[in-house]
């Protein structure tokens, strides 16, 4: 009997708010838990007069980012609206785990019924025992991240990024995106970014995956203007602050590898000046990279 070919991933991109991809919540950190940064993470960004704050008990990594993109993308296809008013199991549990406050209490979230296999596939990860275990760890980590929106000192809205429940009998995962995360997917926000999952599935380098997300938010495909960055700035975006000179030197080499990985994507261009240690990054067909004379950030 002829075997059927493996079906390709269903998703092409994830729609997100402009802040989360470049917030620093996701970094290319070590796979070894002993080498990961210790302690909680608090990050803040100003956007259109709103102070956006993220609080996480642990640093999220590039695999968490791949997974988050896959969940967001699948939610855009298969997600169903739900709110605090819904009473069907397991909806109350999923909603309660958001710990929503303020505006988030009155808005709709998105509920997704899926499987570990589907998420791993869309994230570009193989379906293995270790990766399924890693997926559970990722969902636990993501469900502990809280996002707050401030106006001045007042919390306007707050909730966890997502919640989830696993049905041991069916193997099905129920994942819910908070109203703050669902807002963009539901078309309720005029400002959004699209992150290509097709690109992410192609990238091999962990730092390239993180930088791809950052510049998906910072560079618009129709904008022909590239951006110039010092290599140490790119390293901090990808890995976080360096603690010493040796780490800084090592990370410069990693960034060169990440830029080369990015440049293999059809819609991305990079140029690196070794002497000045400056990189130029462009996105889209209209981007023109000819030199690194721009003032780096």
Each domain of the chain, given as residue ranges in start order, spans 13-196, 203-283
* pLDDT exceeds 80 at position 31: no
Give the Cα-Cα-Cα angle 52, 177, 88 (nearest 5 degrees): 140
Identify the pLDDT of residue 94.
93
Q: Could you tell me the CA-to-CA distances from 126 to 26, 117, 187, 251, 285 in Å, in that order?
A: 21, 8, 31, 27, 31
Nearest one of 263, 215, 185 to 176, comparing CA atoms: 185
pLDDT higher than threshold 80 for residue 8: yes
- Asked whether the CA dihedral 240, 243, 247, 253 is positive or negative, the reply is positive
| CA 59 from centre of chain | 13
Q: Long-range contact list for 234-240, CB < 8 A, 24+ apart?
A: 234/258, 234/259, 234/279, 237/22, 237/24, 237/210, 237/211, 238/27, 238/28, 238/207, 238/210, 238/211, 238/214, 239/27, 239/28, 239/29, 239/207, 240/24, 240/27, 240/29, 240/37, 240/59
d(CA 116, CA 99): 25
**What's the confidence (pLDDT) of residue 153?**
93
Omega before residue 157 within 30° of 0, cis: no
- pLDDT at residue 1 in the model: 36
Q: What is the mean pLDDT of residues 90-100?
A: 88
Q: What's the pLDDT band for 89 if we cut at 50, 70, 90?
A: confident
Residue 61 has pLDDT above 70, yes or no: yes
Burial of 86 (0-12, 13-18, 19+ CB in 10 A): middle
């Amino acid at each position: 009997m002829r075997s059927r070919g493996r079906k390709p991933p269903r998703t092409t991109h994830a729609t997100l708010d402009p802040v989360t991809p470049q917030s620093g919540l996701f970094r290319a950190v070590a796979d070894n838990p002993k080498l990961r940064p210790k302690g909680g993470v608090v990050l803040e960004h100003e956007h259109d007069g709103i102070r956006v704050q993220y609080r996480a008990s642990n640093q999220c990594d590039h695999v968490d980012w791949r997974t988050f993109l896959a969940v967001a993308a699948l939610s855009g296809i298969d997600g169903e609206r739900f709110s605090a008013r819904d009473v069907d199991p397991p909806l109350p549990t999923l909603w309660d785990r958001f710990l929503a406050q303020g505006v988030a209490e009155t808005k709709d979230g998105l509920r997704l019924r899926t499987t570990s296999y589907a998420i791993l596939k869309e994230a570009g990860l193989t379906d293995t025992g270790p990766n399924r275990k890693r997926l559970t760890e990722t969902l636990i980590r993501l469900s502990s991240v809280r996002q707050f929106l401030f106006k001045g000192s007042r919390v306007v809205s707050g909730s966890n990024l997502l919640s989830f429940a696993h049905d041991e009998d069916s193997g099905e995962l129920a994942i819910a995106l908070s109203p703050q995360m669902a807002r963009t997917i539901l078309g309720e926000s005029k400002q959004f970014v699209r992150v290509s999952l097709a690109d992410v599935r192609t990238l091999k380098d962990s730092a390239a995956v993180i930088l791809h997300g950052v510049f998906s938010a910072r560079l618009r495909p129709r904008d022909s203007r590239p951006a110039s960055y010092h290599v140490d700035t790119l390293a901090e975006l990808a890995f976080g602050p360096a603690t010493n000179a040796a780490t800084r030197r090592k990370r410069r080499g990693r960034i060169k590898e990440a830029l080369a990985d990015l440049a293999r994507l059809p819609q991305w261009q990079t140029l690196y000046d070794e002497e000045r240690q400056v990189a130029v990054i462009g996105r889209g067909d209209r981007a023109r990279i000819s030199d690194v004379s721009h003032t780096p950030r």
